[in-house]
Amino acid sequence: MSLPVRSLPVIQNWDCHSCSDCCRTYHVRVTPEEQQRIIQQNWDDSVLGGRPAFIWEPAIGSERLNHTADGACVFLGPDQRCRIHARFGPEAKPAACRIYPFTLAAVGDHWRAGLRYACPSAAENRGRPLSDHAAEVAVYADLVEQESPGAAAKEPPPPLHPGQNLPWEDILRFADTVDDLLADPRVPFGLRIRRVLTFAQLAKPMRSAALAGGVRPILKVLAAAAIEETPTDPATLSPPGWVGRMLFRQAAMVYARKDNGPDAGVGRTGKLTRFWAAWQFATGRGTIPRLHRAIPERTTFAQAETPWGELDSESTQFLTRYYRVKVQSLQFCGRPHFGTTFWMGLDCLMLTFPVVMWLNRVLTATVLPSTPRASSLATLIRAVRMADDHFGYNTVLGTARQLRAVRILAERGELARLAAWYSR
Ligand code: SF4
């Protein structure tokens, strides 16, 4: 019997609104069984835009669903709905298409379901509450368990640090403490992120012997200390240093990039262009390469540094929902996040905050700096969707090089300085 799925306590709604964004953006890998099943459905190539249903994708070492010349999955019909789904029902589709945008993390004796905010309906909170999807998510959990029977129940908790192992209930208490700090409605969202970073800074040196007597009282003390010690005014923190800025821009470049689908960057591809884009991000001067179609033309790196004050309450609520979903669904560490430790995964998630704020400024750059409060909820949602498209999925972010960069940012206190700088 498969593990039960537990709903998230945070309010999150979703329903598919058939925008077809995922069908145009992602290359869906198919297993040999899925490929065989679709072949037996006897699709005529003429229905599929004259293209074969599958194509070999060297980058993933697997067959994947083919796309038409305009970039859409060959099975996307003119009504923006999946032809396989329409003709044979949802069970006939590849598992990846069925499960998206849900995420599943095996957490001890249950699954935790989350959502990818790359999907516009998830980001915009449109549809029924997640709890209404419990039955279908349980089916998805079954599908995942069938791939590797028994593995979910044996999934080990992510260590705090390499080799520092705690039971699942303690790891979840750490996550709950982070969630509580993110949920505090009395303070600006940037301060909440910095409190989480202070909490991490205080808790990281604690060794297993100190935690042996039970983590609950220690976490309470550390959370109170984090609230007490984190400066409330971001202006009191010194600006990010040279190393911090450079490593930040390298991460921002990964999050700002889109290679497939309708949002693919508009610059020419090729080694030289990529090298030039990397050079521009390294120096942080001149115009920002349009690695994603949403980046306005002629936006400069300098424009993205313009201060614009605190976020309004709608934007704060949106960011609260996003980060709480990521934390509560344990999408930031362990198997869902390149197998990272709890602390490394948390630092990676915290780095997305300045990245999102940077992207938010870039996307509104056409009206900056003349309009200091140019941010809108729609732009912020776009920025989060861009970042969430990569978080936990773009393998570049899971490389040793990138994780080392995040470690340097955390150890030098640059994560907190970046969060403060882009909260101005
Ligand atoms: S991106 Fe989301 S809303 Fe749009 S088709 Fe995919 S699952 Fe549905």
**pLDDT tens digit sequence for 142-173:** 999 988 888 999 999 999 999 999 999 999 99
pLDDT at 368 over 80: no
Give the Å distance between the CA of 114 and the centre of ligand 1. Answer: 15
User: Would you place residue 116 in the very low, low, confident or very high pLDDT band (cuts 50, 70, 90)?
Assistant: very high
Statement: residue 355 has pLDDT above 80: yes
Ligand 1: residue of 14, 25, 102, 119 to mutate (most ligand atoms within 8 A of CB) is: 119
Q: Are residues 176 and 122 in the same domain?
A: no
Q: For residue 235, report the distance from its CA to the centre of ligand 1, in Å.
A: 40
370 has a pLDDT exceeding 70: no
CA 299, chain centre distance (Å):
24
pLDDT of residue 45: 78
Q: 137-173 as b/e, with b when 16 or more CB fall inside 10 Å?
A: bbebbebbbeeeeeebeebebbbbeeeeebebebbbb
Protein residue closest via CA to atom 2 of ligand 1: 119
Is 43 inside any structural domain? no
Residue 342 has pLDDT above 80, yes or no: yes
Assess whether pLDDT exceeds 90 at residue 380: yes
Protein residue with its CA nearest to atom 7 in ligand 1: 16
192 CB-near residues (< 8 Å, 6+ apart):
181, 182, 183, 184, 320
Token pair in block for residue 339: 């197998």
**Looking at ligand 1, which residue's alpha carbon is closest to its atom 8?**
16
Atom of ligand 1 minimally distant from the CA of 18: 5
**Is 42 a domain residue?**
no
For the chain, the average pLDDT equals 92
Statement: residue 212 has pLDDT above 80: no
| DSSP state, residue 82 | B
Ligand 1 centroid to residue 328 C-alpha, Å: 22
Are residue 119 and residue 204 in the same domain, yes or no? no
**Which stretch of DSSP H or E encloses residue 403?**
helix 400-411
184 and 291 share one domain: yes
Per the domain annotation, does 281 fall within a domain? yes
Q: In angstroms, what is the span from residue 90 Cα to ligand 1's centroid?
A: 14
Best mutation site among 19, 137, 389 for ligand 1 pocket (most ligand atoms within 8 Å of CB):
19
Q: In the structure, what pLDDT confidence band is assigned to residue 361 with cuts at 50, 70 and 90?
A: very high
Same domain, 137 and 242: no
Report how far residue 35's alpha carbon sits from residue 75's, in angstroms, rounded to the nearest whole number: 13
Q: Which atom of ligand 1 sits closest to the CA of residue 19? A: 4
User: Rounded to an integer, what distance in angstroms lies between the CA atom of residue 256 and that of residue 390?
Assistant: 9
Question: Region 275-285: what's the mean pLDDT?
Answer: 91
Residue 396 to residue 402: CA distance in whole angstroms:
7
What value does the mean pLDDT take over residues 33-37?
Answer: 94
Alpha carbon of 20 to ligand 1 centroid (Å): 6
Domain boundary residue, one of 153, 175, 209: 153
* pLDDT surpassing 60 at residue 315: yes
Of 153, 181, 202, the position where a domain reaches its end is 153
Tens of pLDDT, residues 10-31: 689 999 999 999 999 999 999 9
Pick from 13, 14, 15, 18 the residue to mutate for probing ligand 1's pocket: most ligand atoms within 8 Å of its CB.
Answer: 18
> In terms of domains, do 386 and 278 share one?
yes
pLDDT of residue 1: 65
Structural domain contains residue 324: yes
Across residues 268-294, what is the average pLDDT? 86
Does 249 lie in the same domain as 343? yes
Residue 10 lies in a domain: yes
Q: Are residues 392 and 324 in the same domain?
A: yes
94-108, 203-217, 268-282: which has the minimum mean pLDDT? 268-282
41 belongs to a structural domain? no
188 in a structural domain: yes
The answer to whether residue 169 sits within a structural domain is yes
- Report residue 44's pLDDT band, with 50, 70 and 90 as the boundaries: confident
The single-letter code of the amino acid at 227 is I
For residue 1, report the distance from its CA to the centre of ligand 1, in Å.
Answer: 30
pLDDT score of 139 more than 70? yes
Residues 281, 300 within the same domain: yes
Do 229 and 337 lie in one domain? The reply is yes
**Among the atoms of ligand 1, which is closest to the Cα of residue 17?**
3
Q: What are 198-209's pLDDT values in tens digits? A: 999 999 999 887
* Shortest-distance atom of ligand 1 to CA 21: 1
Counting the structural domains of the chain, the total is 2
Residues within 6 Å of ligand 1 by CB: 16-22, 100-101, 119-121
Same domain, 208 and 303: yes
Q: Which domain holds residue 98?
A: 5-36+48-153
Any idea what DSSP says for residue 289?
P
- List, for residues 233-275, the tens digit of each pLDDT value: 999 999 999 999 999 999 999 999 998 888 888 765 677 777 8
> If you measure from the C-alpha of residue 223 to the centroid of ligand 1, how many angstroms do you get, rounded to a whole number?
38
Q: Is the pLDDT of residue 213 over 80?
A: no
Given 153, 174, 193, the domain boundary residue is 153
Residue 372 has pLDDT above 50, yes or no: no
Whether 118 and 172 map to the same domain: the answer is no
- Ligand 1 mutation target, pool 13, 20, 85, 102, most atoms within 8 A of CB: 20
Q: Which of 62-66, 131-135, 266-270 has the lowest mean pLDDT?
A: 266-270
Q: Could you tell me if 226 and 355 lie in one domain? A: yes
